Structure 1
């Protein structure tokens, strides 16, 4: 549905040229939630603003439904933009307008009939759970409620694509979870394609189907969330993703454990996270497994379990246990020499 092909963007700051995007290519399928993650300055905001040409690429193609919108005239481009809604970190609401007016005014400017405006405002306020706030002003609402108004405003244009520019980064964890649940509902029930950018791994894990990782204006890794999450390849991706370092085992303890066996990081996907693999290998092989640390992460469609385990025993028996786990599709990373 959306294809960014070899997109580059250069800004001129004084006499200096700054390359915000460098030959970026991304494909976003109809109906999916695609996320881009990166630290500040990676080029995420510039990239997402290229989709609706709020930022015009220096080079490359921006293809939506088979049309390179960079080739369109102003009138035709406006028609395409009407199919693309956008929500921002700062909400961008009119402070002196009511919730109803914040949603209705843009529709009125588009020439939508008054009766239809009333229907749309009512419909989308109900969808975002704010049907009773139509007469309120933004200053009377919480941050999460203001973001819901912004989402309703974007949905009122009945877009095919929703762009989310760090929409949850200013919210507390509970409110963030509520907004993410709302985005999942919008994607599932309205069939709207969502393209979001964030610096928060939890957002990617929670709702995205696929993800791209950005660093210094480039895409350094991309793929299905479960693949990128469990088998990161690029150093920048590894800095985001949970790995053995998150367990923070003191060096003295690690060295002591390594004297009688091996430390391994285990990753269990989906249903395998429920299987008693450690009890099984303790029975099948002459080893004693001990859990040092661990946790479970919930992705959009499945759970991922992470364990740091000490395998006590001889090297041959430990290797047999590791081979068994790998045959059962448990991801195993030996960390005893780290």
Structure 2
């Protein structure tokens, strides 16, 4: 549905050129939730603003349903933009307008008839759970409620795509969870494709189908969330996916543990998380596993677990145990390779 092909963006800052995007290519499929994660300055905001041409790429192509919107005339581009709603980090609500008017005014400017405006405002306020706040002002709402108004305003244009620019980064964890549940509901019930950017791993983990990891204006890794989480390839991806404190062990402790065995990181998916695989290798092989750290996280469609384990015992028995774990679809990695 959305294709960014070899997109680059260069800004001129005085005499200096800044490459915000470097040959970025991603494809977002209709009906999915696609996330881009990266630290501040990675180029995420520039990238998402290229989708509706709030930023025009210096080179490359931006295709919506196969049409390169960089080649469209002004009126044609306006028509395409109506299919793309956007939610911002800081809401961008009119302080002097009621919730109702914040949603209605953009529709009025588009020339939508008054009865249709009324229908849409009421419909989308109900969807975001704020039908009783129509006469309230933004100052009377919590941060989460204001973000819900912003989402309703974007939905009132009845777009096919919803862009989310760090929509939860200013919210507390509980409110973030509620907004993410709302985005899942919108995606499922309305069939709207969602493209979001974030620096929060929990956002990707909870609602995204696929993810791209950005660093210094480039995509360094992308794929299904479960694949990227379970087998991160790039160092930047690893820094997001794995809590380094869990897997890093002080050198003197590592040396002591390695005298009697091997330190390994185990990653397991879905149904494997329910299997007592450490108990099984204790029975099958002459080794004693000790869990040093780890946990299980829920992704959108399945769970994924990571454990730091010391396998104490004879080296040959340890190798057999590792081979057994791998045969059971457990991903095994030496800690010193993390």
**Shorter-chain TM-score tier:** over 0.9
> For structure 1, which runs of at least 5 residues remain unmatched after alignment?
none
Matches within 5 A, 1:107-256: 107-242=107-242, 245-256=245-256
SS of match in other structure, 2:80: helix
8 Å Cα contact 2:43/2:217 also seen in 1 = yes
Q: Shift of residue 255 of structure 1?
A: 2.8
Matches within 5 A, 1:1-338: 1-242=1-242, 245-335=245-335
SS of match in other structure, 1:41: coil
8 Å Cα contact 1:264/1:308 also seen in 2 = yes
SS of match in other structure, 1:12: strand
Q: What are the Cα deviations for residues 311-334 of structure 1, in whole angstroms up to 9, with x where unaligned?
A: 111000000000000011001112
Q: TM-score, normalised by structure 2?
A: 0.97
Aligned partners of 1:247, 1:284: CA distance in 2, in Å? Answer: 26
Q: TM-score, normalised by structure 1?
A: 0.97
Aligned partners of 1:5, 1:327: CA distance in 2, in Å? Answer: 39
Report the count of equivalent residues.
Answer: 338
Aligned partners of 2:249, 2:50: CA distance in 1, in Å? Answer: 43
Aligned partners of 2:284, 2:244: CA distance in 1, in Å? Answer: 26
SS of match in other structure, 1:94: coil
Summarize the Cα distance change of 1:336–1:45 in structure 2 as closer, same or farther, 3 Å threshold. closer
8 Å Cα contact 2:246/2:294 also seen in 1 = no
Aligned partners of 2:115, 2:244: CA distance in 1, in Å? Answer: 58
Aligned partners of 1:73, 1:88: CA distance in 2, in Å? Answer: 26
8 Å Cα contact 1:262/1:336 also seen in 2 = no
8 Å Cα contact 1:32/1:193 also seen in 2 = yes
Q: Shift of residue 290 of structure 1?
A: 1.4
8 Å Cα contact 2:37/2:211 also seen in 1 = yes
Aligned partners of 1:305, 1:16: CA distance in 2, in Å? Answer: 45
8 Å Cα contact 1:210/1:225 also seen in 2 = yes
Aligned partners of 2:216, 2:244: CA distance in 1, in Å? Answer: 26
8 Å Cα contact 1:3/1:25 also seen in 2 = yes
8 Å Cα contact 2:247/2:265 also seen in 1 = no
Summarize the Cα distance change of 1:196–1:336 in structure 2 as closer, same or farther, 3 Å threshold. closer
Q: What are the Cα deviations for residues 185-234 of structure 1, in whole angstroms up to 9, with x where unaligned?
A: 11111100000001111111111111111111111111111111111111
